[in-house]
Chains A and B, each alone.
Chain A
């Protein structure tokens, strides 16, 4: 297969013929096509796995209207990198224990993968990962965002995450006093 999986570039000119090929084609909200390993997609995304199993994959590009091309490119990139990097056993064990297991630290390559993303791209990727039911990718991106939040003041958090401050001045002062210790850095 000569497709450049790492880049996941638009494959609009590509002819897709065989029905049981080992890749699936995904179409972003803005109409770009991306090809991803069927095995990786099914393993990493519960939604894609369901679509593949249910036969609702469109060989001419399965519409993912909620996901923009930049985010989808990252998703595909991640899937392809993942297929090459991690034994599936490790992934399976990490996907079983969602809520109780200690956090699985991102692998080195996953760290690098999210580190290169802009804030916007990172947030879009979280959204896409959640939409596609990609638990591991969600873990990795959430980890990155939580890293970004560590040690930040409420003001900074509001700015980065675009949250409206709905406290009154007095309430805010009260909270600050009550939790004064939490506002000091270690």
Chain B
């Protein structure tokens, strides 16, 4: 006979006090957990503002985050997009969007790669890029408490279709052969939208439907991040357009020939 209490309250680091009432009814923690698990990430982020307990659950509880990620896995892959940063480029706001444009997670990153991993003079930008890539990957893994991003496999897949790499911090990302980039009304000839994410299929070389980007009112977005006309990418048949300029690169030893 199964346990009479199949729910997994024990997985939560918060117990006891995490209940809420409505006209006398006390919703058990397990039920609250079940209810919140069903909500999309954006709603959950907003609900952090409800009360401290909810914020703890929705920000810091790894069991909850893992369960949420598992339950919503079918929404992969996600797009990582930087929404803006301060003038010194030290702080970047990443949005993790699913392909419908739904923001599932916002992550703040303080970028100081050079200080932590000094550039090696012999290997030049490769090492720096590697360091940055690792930082970004680490950042991605660490900060996505809701949702997941496909694991980058740079070495195996160097070439036209980098599965996941981030260049010009915040301007574009390539996932599974599709480049996602910030765009604007100028590019797409649409009505005013603060930020759209355009997507371009490298395989078919066709533009795909734009997805709604993050709105960041009150923030000054980096101009080049928001206004990135496709022609500047110099798209060429069968060739990944940004390889020459990409920040990320395989480590030196793998490019011996």
**A residues lining the B interface (CB < 8 Å):** 46-47, 49-50, 53, 95, 98-103, 119-120, 123-124, 126-127, 130, 133, 135, 138-139, 141-143, 145-146, 149-151, 153-154, 157-158, 160-167, 172, 175-184, 186
Contact A146 B8 (CB under 8 A): no
B66 to chain A: closest residue by CB: A99
B217 to chain A: closest residue by CB: A180
Residues of A contacting B101 with CB < 8 Å?
186
Contact A133 B38 (CB under 8 A): no
CB A79 to nearest CB in B, in angstroms, measures 17
**B residues lining the A interface (CB < 8 Å):** 1-8, 20-28, 30-31, 34-36, 38-40, 42-43, 45-52, 54-55, 67, 70-71, 73-74, 83, 95, 101-103, 106, 108, 212, 214-218
CB A184 to nearest CB in B, in angstroms, measures 5
Instruction: Give Cα A151 to B34, complex, Å.
Output: 17
Contact B103 A50 (CB under 8 A): no
Residues of B contacting A98 with CB < 8 Å?
6-8
Query: With contacts A102-B74, A123-B22, A164-B51 known, is A146 near B35, CB below 8 A?
Result: yes
Query: With contacts A139-B34, A167-B49, A184-B215 known, is A47 near B71, CB below 8 A?
Result: no
Residues of A contacting B43 with CB < 8 Å?
149-151, 182
Residues of B contacting A163 with CB < 8 Å?
20, 50-51, 54
Instruction: Give Cα A160 to B20, complex, Å.
Output: 10
Residues of A contacting B67 with CB < 8 Å?
99
Contact B31 A153 (CB under 8 A): no
Contact B22 A182 (CB under 8 A): no
Of B4, B20, B49, the residue contacting A161 (CB under 8 A) is B20
18 A-B pairs with CB atoms under 8 Å apart are A50-B4, A98-B8, A99-B70, A119-B22, A120-B22, A124-B25, A127-B26, A130-B7, A139-B34, A163-B54, A167-B51, A175-B48, A179-B45, A179-B49, A179-B106, A180-B218, A181-B42, A186-B42
CB B117 to nearest CB in A, in angstroms, measures 28
Contact B95 A142 (CB under 8 A): no
Contact A157 B7 (CB under 8 A): no
Of B22, B51, B216, the residue contacting A160 (CB under 8 A) is B22
Of B20, B34, B49, B218, the residue contacting A154 (CB under 8 A) is B49
CB B46 to nearest CB in A, in angstroms, measures 4
B3 to chain A: closest residue by CB: A46
Query: With contacts A49-B1, A127-B27, A180-B217 known, is A100 near B70, CB below 8 A?
Result: yes
Instruction: Give Cα A95 to B3, complex, Å.
Output: 13
Extra 18 A-B pairs, beta carbons < 8 Å, given A150-B43, A154-B46, A186-B212:
A46-B3, A98-B7, A98-B8, A119-B23, A120-B24, A124-B25, A126-B27, A126-B31, A130-B7, A133-B5, A138-B34, A153-B46, A157-B50, A160-B22, A166-B51, A178-B106, A179-B106, A180-B216
A71 to chain B: closest residue by CB: B25
Q: Which of A95, A103, A142, A182 has the most CB of B within 10 A?
A: A182
Instruction: Give Cα A110 to B107, complex, Å.
Output: 38
Query: With contacts A164-B51, A167-B51, A186-B101 known, is A181 near B28, CB below 8 A?
Result: no
Of A130, A176, A177, the residue contacting B31 (CB under 8 A) is A130
Contact A103 B71 (CB under 8 A): yes
Query: With contacts A46-B2, A181-B106 known, is A157 near B21, CB below 8 A?
Result: no
Contact B46 A127 (CB under 8 A): no
Residues of A contacting B24 with CB < 8 Å?
120
Of B22, B35, B54, the residue contacting A162 (CB under 8 A) is B22
CB B4 to nearest CB in A, in angstroms, measures 5
Instruction: Give Cα A172 to B52, complex, Å.
Output: 10
Contact B7 A123 (CB under 8 A): no
Instruction: Give Cα A35 to B46, complex, Å.
Output: 44
Contact B4 A181 (CB under 8 A): no
Contact B52 A167 (CB under 8 A): yes
CB B69 to nearest CB in A, in angstroms, measures 10
Instruction: Give Cα A134 to B67, complex, Å.
Output: 20
Residues of B contacting A47 with CB < 8 Å?
4
Residues of A contacting B49 with CB < 8 Å?
154, 167, 172, 175-176, 179
